[in-house]
Amino acid sequence: MSAVQITLPDGSVRSYPAPVTVAEVAASIGAGLAKAALAGKVGGKLVDTSHRIEADAALAIVTDKDAEGLEILRHSTAHLLAYAVKTLYPEAQVTIGPVIEHGFYYDFAYTRPFTPEDLAAIEKKMAELAKADFPVTREVVARDAAVKFFLDQGEKYKAELIAAIPAEQEVSLYREGEFVDLCRGPHVPSTGKLKVFKLMKVAGAYWRGDSKNEMLQRIYGTAWAKKEELEAHLTMLEEAEKRDHRKLGQRLDLFHFQDEAPGSVFWHPKGWFLFQKLIAYMRDCQDAAGYVEVNTPDVMDRALWETSGHWFNYRENMFTTQTEDERIFALKPMNCPGAVAMYAQGVKSYRDLPLRMAEFGKVHRYEPSGALHGLLRVRHFTQDDAHIFCTEAQMEAECRDVVKLIFQIYKDFGFDNVRVKLSTRPDHRIGSDETWDILEGALAQALQHMGVEYTLFPGEGAFYGPKLEFVLRDAIGRDWQCGTLQVDMNLPERFDIHYVDADNSHKRPVMLHRALFGSLERFVGILIEHYVGAFPLWLAPAQAVVMSISEHQADYAADVAKKLKAAGLRVETDLRNEKINYKIREHSMNRLPYLLVVGDKEKAANLVAVRTRSGQDLGQMPVEDLIAQLGKEVAGRGSTA
């Protein structure tokens, strides 16, 4: 039994006369930490508090204040859910229960569908099991012994999972009370740590995600460290429900979907205006930034996709067709190969670079039907794509310019909180490590030189190059991944494109892939939810409605609308024989920024009574003053309350 030295995160070192557990180290530091400890991180690896440290090591005690601690709470709560289900419904079979964003789920095989009443009973049982404060202990057993154990329990799904593990590999089981489950861990030291959770819903899920397998029942839940955090999360979900772009899109008459075209949008006039407004806005930005706009075919031969690598790396997501002469074509899932083919036309000189080619390209990607989600996940969408061809020396400056443009654009749409992710080389990739070193360095240095903070996501890059992802935080605190910037030296090599340098030698350009909105369909969906359909004045499909109190003001209302339209404003009229309060309420619900009322008094004085959609009464004013006010607001891209 040798002494052990433990180095803590603050650099201090504690000595122990013999091997020591994580829990014992926490207790030696203080009773408060011992009570709060959920796990430990030894040499960067998460372990249970019961883990025994045999040699000198660096240790961090994990509590619910740490991101890892919250994940462990959620993982352990998933197992508590399984324990409760097995207690109430012993014939149910357990499968898997991972952590997801804001919570967890667990899949079960059961003879009948779980009902809302079942969920309430399960949640109650979970609370009872948590209050019992059962110790959670880890056991390591041989794989075959684990298979036999679960088969003896009648758990064929769990046994199938374990049987797929190599025979020589040991597996870990976790026991709490009478329940035993397969898991790598770590877990909380006892069920008493699990106090703040709620079951949310039940959905169907295929075993192992394969539609050929049997359908299971997936119970979703959420878990938090504090009750206040759970309440805030539930409030956010309620607010998100009010903002659901699918419901608002229907109510505001923007778009619809139907079964004959799954994952494809039917844009209504107002929605199509919004869509085209985004394109016009982006065109102006790109023109000012030195881009040229191009357009490439939607359908191209398989050979092009083989050269690009998409055929081998993305085939399962592509729509294809075969012609009578047996040529195979694919609807483009990406715009990149078409951009390279465009660049390859004619000889390019170093004087032509950087060449910034933008395209509002329609792409088609096969998404499983269960993954489709309104405008946020579709099969047919339009990207505000651009491909920048430049020299290696120009690469970092071009990256900085793109990042600067992205931040400016998001600010115009009301997104001031933007986080940046740097995703580096994945295991499945093309190109040499030397090339990846250059590309990853260019992105990191561009951000560092701009003073932009970023989070590193190792292994999350595209197969052909690293990328930056720009994550927007909306009005209720949700995060949306939108824009991307990727740097690529692989496609130029695969397509053998070049430029003539000053010394007449042929050199490869670097290719930057850039989308700022990302998918225009998705960005429209995000905007609908961010603004709850109440778009800022410059973006609103209809900016004002002129309403008459009675038929006697119909001519005057039409004349006011005519003047506003002549000034470039988008205006509707409502001359119906309805009570004015009814009209005001209806148009307020439809999120029109300005509601203009004209009665006999307004007609006689050549005025309009002005209200906002939020109910603010701005009083009467001459039409000319209103035009000036709205024009100023549009120019400043302001937002009406």
Active site residues: 336, 365, 383, 385, 387, 467, 513
> What residue ranges in 282-379 does DSSP mark as E strands?
292-293, 299-301, 320-322, 328-331, 355-364
Quote the Cα angle for 63-64-68, to 5°.
80
Cα–Cα dist 182/454, whole Å: 36
Q: How many CA atoms lie within 13 A of 11 on its CB side?
A: 0
Among the listed residues 104, 445, 497, the one whose alpha carbon sits nearest the alpha carbon of residue 336: 497
Among the listed residues 350, 275, 336, the one whose alpha carbon sits nearest the alpha carbon of residue 508: 350
Q: Which residue in the block uniquely carries the two structure tokens 């499968």?
A: 95
Tell which phi-psi region holds residue 622, choosing left (phi > 0), alpha (psi between -120 and 50) or beta.
Answer: beta
DSSP letter for 50, please.
T
Angle, to 10 degrees, between the axis of helix 67-88 and the axis of helix 116-131? 110
- Print the SS3 string covering 457-519: ECCCCECCECEEEEEEECCCCCEEEEEEEEEECHHHHHCCCCEECCCCCEECCEEEEEEEEEE
Q: Torsions phi, psi of 108, nearest 5?
A: -130, 145
Assess whether the previous peptide bond of 116 is cis (omega < 30° from 0).
Answer: no
How far, in Å, are 93, 372, 376, 433, 522 from residue 265 at the CA level? 40, 12, 11, 41, 11
Cα–Cα dist 336/386, whole Å: 9
Cα–Cα dist 583/597, whole Å: 10
Burial of 488 (0-12, 13-18, 19+ CB in 10 A): buried
Burial of 519 (0-12, 13-18, 19+ CB in 10 A): buried
Using only C-alpha atoms, the chain has a radius of gyration, in whole angstroms, of 30
